[in-house]
Amino acid sequence: MIDIAIKWICFSAVLMAAASLMPTVRIRSWAAAFGGVAAFGIANVALGWLLTFIAKVFLALPNLFTFGLVWFLIPVAVNMILLRLAIAATDESIEVDGLSALATLALTLTATGGAMNAIL
Position 99 pLDDT exceeds 90:
yes
Q: What predicted TM-score, i.e. pTM, was given to this entire model?
A: 0.86
* Angle at which helices 30-43 and 2-21 cross, to 10°: 120
pLDDT tens digits, residue range 71-91? 888 899 999 999 999 999 988
Q: What is the mean pLDDT of residues 89-99?
A: 90
Average pLDDT, the chain: 90
| Helix (H/G/I), strand (E/B), else coil: 23 | coil
Q: What is the mean pLDDT of residues 83-100?
A: 91
Position 13 pLDDT exceeds 90:
yes
Confidence at residue 63, expressed as pLDDT on a 0 to 100 scale:
83
Residues 6+ away with beta carbon under 8 Å from 106: 76, 77, 79, 80, 83
Torsion of CA 92, 12, 98, 70, to 10 degrees: -130
Q: Rounded distance, CA 76 to CA 52, Å?
A: 10
Confidence at residue 11, expressed as pLDDT on a 0 to 100 scale:
92
Confidence at residue 65, expressed as pLDDT on a 0 to 100 scale:
85
Position 106 pLDDT exceeds 90:
yes
More confident residue, 112 or 64: 112
Confidence at residue 78, expressed as pLDDT on a 0 to 100 scale:
93
Confidence at residue 81, expressed as pLDDT on a 0 to 100 scale:
94
Q: Rounded distance, CA 19 to CA 26, Å?
A: 5
